[in-house]
């Protein structure tokens, strides 16, 4: 029966103390056993045991016993209550939570058992296209992952047989620093006013996508204290998104899940007795705003890349594009950019600010090309919520503002205006968009769109759209479009639509089946009548070794038929496999020497292993925890498998070999004998030992010399017969045999 430990004072010396190891619980949570000492009928607890149990502070006077520091249970004070269960040799502590180490829970952490795998692999993508059987074109990409780098190259051969290299580069990622270095052709991004340009050289940039579980934008944090083990339910906008366990003591929840825009987070904490406490607060999240103290940058130096009809590409003069942003606070991010070539330079500051209602971005820049100055400025505002969203932007580019990708003589939109407003009423969505560009030379363009969508009877989707466009030099045009989409069966849907604009009226009927995740067919059939009569018949087949498509389009009496065959050859795990085009990462499920085992990606069937036990997986996500698994019921009964699911993260555009180790269940039986002076002797009641890769397996020897061993791999392994205290060593050959029980016959050893 548990009893409370009361102070009992005595005068015995340390030499007369009795030590023990007791099971320990702190606020109902089991900890490692605690070392205690009974002295003068008092209970002393090792201070280190209390620290290991999570206490950040041990109150009370400490004294040395046997060279270690102890504290008397009655000296711990009112904040620590001690109960000693003498019958079960257990110690239970009820501790003031402020004395316990705080628990940091980051909800953005990667899965616990994620495996980052980098293998030397390669792939060759190809897409061969024919139009009307008369002309052919080819697009090809080659990618090789070796060590920390990924080399990528693409080229095309057009219908006239002309070869053109597109991009070639080497990418090296640092998962620890979340940085990416690119040597070769790359896109340099100067931001809102710096523009984007193609540069061949070297680029060094922050890349948060290298860790998809890292949140660079500010996340909500909640802190509190619980006395007992508790459960926390996290709600975002009323929806339960996470449940997690919290041990006793202070806790700090970081990076709670959030939806971009305005929302509210609520954390409901329940303990074992049903008592609850709630934490909650509204938030506004803009993913352009960085966490406080976080840097985001991109620096690129090299030569301007110009796409011409040159076979290998033309390059201009030297160029530099740099951009850097810094999270000054969780609501304010500042930064700037610089672009430069041999005859022009541009640069300026930027700031992004999260407001209580929305986010504001301000940008400014100046430039000079030769003796011609230029200037630019932009302001952007957006507010998003589940019910209502609104935003707008204004950008000014002076008539001769210049950056790396924009020359002072190029036409540009001097003024740009854009705005949107969207709202939702139950199942009814309405969005209004406006966009205007006033070009220096070409004149003004304006677009106004009003779109709406409504879900009818939980099955039908009705969409409506009103448009008004005015392009420079053309008269204004207006139009209306309506479409009703209804699911038919599986992933097949039918759409009926009608439209009217300045050119006349059009009605259309469309039947579409989406492309499956694995192997199967997809198709699109459309018939349109009226001013824009277009008939389309498109059939795709996604197979294990490629993607094949036939597209026939009929417009105004002219029919065009396009045939496409796309696929890839991959090198992974020492073999070459034909597969569908590789878009990102890929993998190889390996169940050694076991054919016909079903493989899964995120619990979706993606095929069966071949005769060697291999199954190629062409579509994985780089750096993300992809769930790969096998069907245990497909494993033959004479095999044992250690695990059937693994979470793996391949490198950028690389391949990962994922082996599910299986062990063949075989029994090896026979009879052992010793050869002494030409005579045989049965080593009855001796022992046979076989050593395989450092592991020893033994079998007793029966009266007739019989032995029994299990699950030995094929090969020649060192063995010995121990009989009457004397070992007889020899080499034992284990055959490769399909039988469940293998008869080894007579195994002889000569001492």
Write the CATH number for 695: 2.60.40.10
Same domain membership, residue 704 and residue 629: no
Q: How distant, in Å, are the alpha carbons of 87, 288, 324, 349 from that of 334? A: 65, 11, 9, 8
Phi/psi at 235 (5° precision)? -115, 135
The total number of structural domains that make up the chain: 4
- Answer whether residue 1 shows pLDDT above 50: no
| Cα(89)–Cα(21) distance, integer angstroms | 8
Q: Is-contact 589 620, C-beta < 8 A?
A: no
**What SS3 class is residue 54?**
coil
Same domain membership, residue 615 and residue 673: no
Cα Rg of the chain, angstroms: 36
Residue 720: inside a domain: yes
Question: Of 5-9, 246-250, 377-381, 686-690, which gets the smallest average pLDDT?
Answer: 5-9
Q: Is-contact 353 332, C-beta < 8 A?
A: yes
Q: Is 229 exposed, middle or buried (0-12, 13-18, 19+ CB in 10 A)?
A: middle
Residue 50: inside a domain: yes
Strands (E), 78-134: 80-85, 90-95, 103-106, 114-117, 121-131
CATH code of 620's domain: 2.60.40.2610
Predicted local distance difference test score (pLDDT) of residue 229: 84
Q: What is the mean pLDDT of residues 306-313?
A: 67
- Answer whether residue 4 shows pLDDT above 60: no
Same domain membership, residue 685 and residue 742: yes
pLDDT tens for residues 178-206? Answer: 999 999 999 999 999 998 889 999 999 99
Same domain membership, residue 87 and residue 29: yes
| Cα(27)–Cα(622) distance, integer angstroms | 42
- Answer whether residue 510 shows pLDDT above 60: yes
Same domain membership, residue 80 and residue 15: yes
Q: Find residue 746's DSSP bridge partners.
A: 671
Percent of the chain with pLDDT over 70: 97
Same domain membership, residue 672 and residue 735: yes
- The mean of the pLDDT values for the chain is 89
| Cα(442)–Cα(411) distance, integer angstroms | 7
Band (103; pLDDT cuts 50, 70, 90): confident
Residue 16: inside a domain: yes
pLDDT tens for residues 132-182? Answer: 888 899 999 999 999 899 999 999 998 888 888 889 999 999 999 999 999
Predicted local distance difference test score (pLDDT) of residue 219: 80
Domain-ending residue, one of 269, 285, 301:
285
Same domain membership, residue 744 and residue 692: yes
Residue 364: inside a domain: no
Q: What is the mean pLDDT of residues 281-302?
A: 90
Residues 6 or more apart whose CB falls under 8 angstroms from that of 698 comprise 687, 688, 689, 690
Tell me which H or E stretch contains 340. strand 332-341
- Answer whether residue 751 shows pLDDT above 90: no
Same domain membership, residue 638 and residue 613: yes
Residue 552: inside a domain: no
- Answer whether residue 350 shows pLDDT above 70: yes
Predicted local distance difference test score (pLDDT) of residue 641: 86
- Answer whether residue 5 shows pLDDT above 50: no
- Answer whether residue 256 shows pLDDT above 60: yes
pLDDT tens for residues 679-722? Answer: 899 999 999 999 998 889 999 999 999 999 988 889 999 999 99
pLDDT tens for residues 449-506? Answer: 999 999 888 788 999 999 999 888 888 899 999 999 998 887 899 999 999 988 889 9
Percent of the chain with pLDDT over 90: 57
Same domain membership, residue 96 and residue 67: yes
Band (16; pLDDT cuts 50, 70, 90): low
- Answer whether residue 324 shows pLDDT above 70: yes
Q: How distant, in Å, are the alpha carbons of 138, 443, 566 from that of 132? A: 15, 40, 17
* Residue found under tokens 């204290």: 225
Same domain membership, residue 50 and residue 70: yes
Same domain membership, residue 97 and residue 8: yes
Residue 152: inside a domain: no
Predicted local distance difference test score (pLDDT) of residue 14: 44
Predicted local distance difference test score (pLDDT) of residue 310: 63
Domain-ending residue, one of 57, 79, 101:
101
Q: Is-contact 660 590, C-beta < 8 A?
A: yes
- Answer whether residue 349 shows pLDDT above 90: yes
- Answer whether residue 567 shows pLDDT above 70: yes
pLDDT tens for residues 723-748? Answer: 988 899 999 999 988 888 999 999 99
**What SS3 class is residue 402?**
coil
CATH code of 80's domain: 3.10.20
Q: By residue range, what is the domain housing residue 78?
A: 3-101
Domain-ending residue, one of 664, 691, 726:
664
Same domain membership, residue 69 and residue 13: yes
Band (8; pLDDT cuts 50, 70, 90): very low
Predicted local distance difference test score (pLDDT) of residue 622: 94
More confident residue, 17 or 658: 658
Q: What is the mean pLDDT of residues 596-601?
A: 93
CATH code of 271's domain: 2.60.40.3110
Predicted local distance difference test score (pLDDT) of residue 307: 65
Q: Are strands 18-26 and 90-95 parallel, antiparallel or unpaired?
A: parallel
Phi/psi at 622 (5° precision)? -65, 135
What does pTM read for this prediction? Answer: 0.79
Residue 119: inside a domain: no
Residue 175: inside a domain: no
CA quadruple 660, 119, 114, 218: dihedral, nearest 10: -160
- Answer whether residue 7 shows pLDDT above 70: no
């Amino acid at each position: 029966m548990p009893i409370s430990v009361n102070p009992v004072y005595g005068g015995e010396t340390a030499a007369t103390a009795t030590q023990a190891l007791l099971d320990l619980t702190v606020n109902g949570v089991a900890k490692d056993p605690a070392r205690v000492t009974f002295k003068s009928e008092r209970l002393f607890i090792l201070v280190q045991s209390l620290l290991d149990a999570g206490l950040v502070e041990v109150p009370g006077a400490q004294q040395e016993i046997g060279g270690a520091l102890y504290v008397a249970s009655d000296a711990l004070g009112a904040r620590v209550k001690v109960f000693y269960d003498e019958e079960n040799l257990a110690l239970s502590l009820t501790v003031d939570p402020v004395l316990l180490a705080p628990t940091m829970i980051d909800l953005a952490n990667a899965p616990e058992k994620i495996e980052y795998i980098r293998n030397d692999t390669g792939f060759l993508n190809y897409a061969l296209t024919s139009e009307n059987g008369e002309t052919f074109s080819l697009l090809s990409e080659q990618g090789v992952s070796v060590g920390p780098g990924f080399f990528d190259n693409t080229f095309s051969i057009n219908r006239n047989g002309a070869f053109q290299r597109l991009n070639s580069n080497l990418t090296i990622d640092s998962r620890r620093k979340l940085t990416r270095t690119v040597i070769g052709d790359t896109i340099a991004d100067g931001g809102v006013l710096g523009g984007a340009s193609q540069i061949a050289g070297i680029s060094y940039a922050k890349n948060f996508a290298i860790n998809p579980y890292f949140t660079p934008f500010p996340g909500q944090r909640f802190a509190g204290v619980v006395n007992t083990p508790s459960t926390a339910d996290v709600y975002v906008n009323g929806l339960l998104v996470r449940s997690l366990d919290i041990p006793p003591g202070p806790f700090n929840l970081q990076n709670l899940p959030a939806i971009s825009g305005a929302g509210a987070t609520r954390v409901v904490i329940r303990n074992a007795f049903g008592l609850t406490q709630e934490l909650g607060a509204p938030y506004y999240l803009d993913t352009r705003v960085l966490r406080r103290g976080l840097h985001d940058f991109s620096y690129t130096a090299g030569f301007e890349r110009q796409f011409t009809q040159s076979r290998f590409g033309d390059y201009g003069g030297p160029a530099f594009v740099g951009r850097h942003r810094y999270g000054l606070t969780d609501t304010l991010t500042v930064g700037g950019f610089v672009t430069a070539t041999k005859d022009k330079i541009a640069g300026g500051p930027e700031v992004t600010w999260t407001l209580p209602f929305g986010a504001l971005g301000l940008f400014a820049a100046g430039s000079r090309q030769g003796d011609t100055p230029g200037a630019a400025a932009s302001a952007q505002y957006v507010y998003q919520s589940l019910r209502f969203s609104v935003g707008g932007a204004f950008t000014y580019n002076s008539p001769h503002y210049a950056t790396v990708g924009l020359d002072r003589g190029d036409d540009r939109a001097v003024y740009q205006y854009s705005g949107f407003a969207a709202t939702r009423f139950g199942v009814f969505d309405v969005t209004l968009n406006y966009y205007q560009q006033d070009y220096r030379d070409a004149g003004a363009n304006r677009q106004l769109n009003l779109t709406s969508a409504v879900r009818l009877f939980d099955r039908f989707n009705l969409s409506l759209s009103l448009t008004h466009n005015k392009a420079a030099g053309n008269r204004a045009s207006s139009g209306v479009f309506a479409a009703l989409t209804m699911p038919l069966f599986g992933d097949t849907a039918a759409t009926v639509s009608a439209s009217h604009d300045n050119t006349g009226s059009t009605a259309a009927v469309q039947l579409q089946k989406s492309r499956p995740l694995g192997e199967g067919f997809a198709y699109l059939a459309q018939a349109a009548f009226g001013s824009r009569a277009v008939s389309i018949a498109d059939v795709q087949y996604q197979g294990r070794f490629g993607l094949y498509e036939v597209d026939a389009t009929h417009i105004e009496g002219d029919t065009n038929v396009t045939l496409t065959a796309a696929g890839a050859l991959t090198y992974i795990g020492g073999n070459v496999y034909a597969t569908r085009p590789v878009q990102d990462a890929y993998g190889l499920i390996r169940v050694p020497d076991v054919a016909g085992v079903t493989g899964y990606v995120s619990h979706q069937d993606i095929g069966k292993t071949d005769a060697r036990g291999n199954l190629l997986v062409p579509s994985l996500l780089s750096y993300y925890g992809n769930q790969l698994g096998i069907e245990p019921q497909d494993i033959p009964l004479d095999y044992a498998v250690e695990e059937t699911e693994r979470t793996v993260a391949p490198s950028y555009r690389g391949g990962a070999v994922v082996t599910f180790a299986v062990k063949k269940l075989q029994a090896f039986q026979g009879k052992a004998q010793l050869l002494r002076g030409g005579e045989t002797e049965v080593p009855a009641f001796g022992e046979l030992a076989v050593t395989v890769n450092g592991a020893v397996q033994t079998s007793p020897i029966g009266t007739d010399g019989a032995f029994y061993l299990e699950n030995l791999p094929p090969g020649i392994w060192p063995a010995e017969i121990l009989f009457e205290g004397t070992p007889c060593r020899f080499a034992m050959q284990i055959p490769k045999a399909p039988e469940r029980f293998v008869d080894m016959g007579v195994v002889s050893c000569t001492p």
